[in-house]
Amino acid sequence: MNILILGSGGREHTIAWKIAPSDKCRNLFVAPGNSGTAKIATNVPVSVTDFEAIKAVVLNNKIMMVVVGPEDPLVLGIHDFFLADEALKNVAVIGPQKAAAELEGSKEFAKEFLYKHNIPTAAYECFNAKTVEKGYAFLDTLKPPYVLKADGLAAGKGVVILNDIDEAKAELKAMLIDAKFGTASTKVVIEEFLDGIELSCFVLTDGKNYKILPTAKDYKRIGEGDTGLNTGGMGAVSPVPFADEAFMSKIRERIVIPTINGLQKDNLPYKGFVFIGLIKVGDDPKVIEYNVRLGDPETEVVLPRLKNDLVTLFQAVANQTLDKITLEIDERAATTVMLVSGGYPEAYEKGKEITGLENIEGSIAFHAGAQVEDNKIVTSGGRVMAITSYGTTYQEAIKKSYQNIEKLHFDKMNYRKDIGFDL
């Protein structure tokens, strides 16, 4: 069948890399794609939120499956758009419907869901411009650090953690009164700070059945030792060594099963990936957030460890027969290191030629913010490329990634040299 992937990051290149060799995939398209997907699929210059243009691509190319990479089209209701259209309703869409995508689209909605289904998470309250004074009073009852979250999508920047009570109150005012994140901060969730080590758990569900994919840990801060500004993610490791069988069984029993049951009870139609952001507090997992898609760069270590044919898995999701499938996971560890443009996550330059890719041995370069221009591969974003390697241990894998990075170059290339340092 013909398949379309929506998105243009390292995540989408990895999904394309996994789908392209499948016997079940005839023609693969990526919208809009990048220089990595251009090599293994056909890129189509269409925005992931332009549903009418996507419809035309699907009909013109007889596409029967659409895999949605990022959250925006899901929160905007792309799955519902397909179901409501006579010509598109039989196309399989991998990604939840709009009502369920609110788990990522609204932090308040996610917290209400977690509480309602008794899933462990941080205590919280939600405020708006009218209740800002109550928000200040609530902050006074908490101990630092203070965690403030813009309710809506804010391109990964909507969570602010502050140590000083006056700064926390000023931030609450900036979000609610001064619309710091536009309409995304019309409401703000203030929650208890959870102290522990983070990991991500990825679940594929058909709405009834579920499969837990390998765990991963990403490194969000720009600086070594987890310092400096937040980024989309600077590297990742899978599996997470501290997520042993006892801990995974707590995640399954206390979090994954109640989440899948909760989706059904609340009538939230879900055929896709659930990304559960977790924090290990003492010996117990608590949910920090839900995302309704795969993580980036976690995908770059999770999918390479999945041995199953991804198209077969997605067909089972579409047909609600995921219970018939057994996941096969590569025993090896996988790690990835993200190469970023100098200056990222603040201002950076684009259009820098990337050289040395042909010299990579034993690693995979998943392209992110990179495009083909005049037959050259040039940077086009902050996060440029994720270098993934396998190893018997994550230490061995990470060494391989760093050895290959030595062979790569672009002007002002930056990356973290300590991925996995805390494991």
- Binding region for ligand AMP (CB under 6 A): 122, 147, 156, 159, 191-194, 198, 220, 277, 288-289
Q: Does 295 bind ligand GLY (CB under 6 A)?
A: yes
What is the DSSP secondary structure assignment for residue 131, as one 8-state letter?
G
Looking at the Cβ atoms of 169 and 305, the one nearer to ligand GLY is 305
Which entry of ligand GLY, ligand AMP, none binds 284, CB below 5 to 8 A by partner kind? none
Least distance (Å) from ligand AMP to the CB of residue 220? 6
Backbone angles phi, psi at 271, to 5 degrees: -130, 95
Least distance (Å) from ligand AMP to the CB of residue 81? 26
Looking at the Cβ atoms of 78 and 194, the one nearer to ligand AMP is 194
Q: Which part of the chain contacts ligand GLY (CB under 6 A), choosing from 177-185, 291-299, 329-337, 389-397?
A: 291-299
List the one residue from 108, 191, 218, 309 that touches ligand GLY (CB under 6 A). Answer: 218
- Rounded CA-CA distance 47/31 in Å is 7
The residue count for binding ligand GLY (CB under 6 A) is 7
Looking at the Cβ atoms of 10 and 207, the one nearer to ligand AMP is 10
User: Could you tell me if 272 and 94 are in contact, meaning their C-beta atoms sit under 8 angstroms apart?
Assistant: yes
Query: DSSP H helical segments within 67-204, as ranges?
Result: 72-75, 78-83, 98-105, 107-116, 132-141, 165-176
Which entry of ligand AMP, ligand GLY, none binds 235, CB below 5 to 8 A by partner kind? none
Which entry of ligand GLY, ligand AMP, none binds 194, CB below 5 to 8 A by partner kind? ligand AMP
Which entry of ligand AMP, ligand GLY, none binds 296, CB below 5 to 8 A by partner kind? ligand GLY
Q: Does 233 bind ligand GLY (CB under 6 A)?
A: yes
Handedness of CA 250, 267, 71, 229 (dihedral sign): negative
Least distance (Å) from ligand AMP to the CB of residue 296? 12
Which entry of ligand AMP, ligand GLY, none binds 295, CB below 5 to 8 A by partner kind? ligand GLY
Which helix or strand (DSSP H or E) is residue 260 part of? Answer: helix 257-265
- Rounded CA-CA distance 38/184 in Å is 34
Binders of ligand GLY among 25-64, rule CB under 6 A? none
Three-class DSSP category at 249: helix
Specify the pairing of strand 413-414 against strand 333-341.
Answer: antiparallel
Least distance (Å) from ligand AMP to the CB of residue 89? 33
- Beta-sheet strand order (sheet of 197-205): 210-212, 197-205, 272-281, 284-291
Tokens of 79: 């799955």
Helix and strand numbers (H, E) in the chain are 14, 23
Q: Does 298 bind ligand GLY (CB under 6 A)?
A: yes
Looking at the Cβ atoms of 48 and 122, the one nearer to ligand AMP is 122
> Cis bond leading into 297, ω under 30°?
yes
Least distance (Å) from ligand GLY to the CB of residue 48? 15
- Rounded CA-CA distance 292/95 in Å is 7
- Rounded CA-CA distance 378/341 in Å is 11
Integer angstrom CA distances of residue 194 from 122, 142, 203, 216, 225? 7, 12, 23, 19, 19
In the block, residue with structure tokens 């009852």: 141
Least distance (Å) from ligand GLY to the CB of residue 243? 17
Least distance (Å) from ligand GLY to the CB of residue 270? 18
Which entry of ligand GLY, ligand AMP, none binds 122, CB below 5 to 8 A by partner kind? ligand AMP
Least distance (Å) from ligand GLY to the CB of residue 293? 8
User: Could you tell me if 263 and 273 are in contact, meaning their C-beta atoms sit under 8 angstroms apart?
Assistant: no
Contact set with ligand GLY (CB under 6 A): 218, 232-233, 291, 295-296, 298
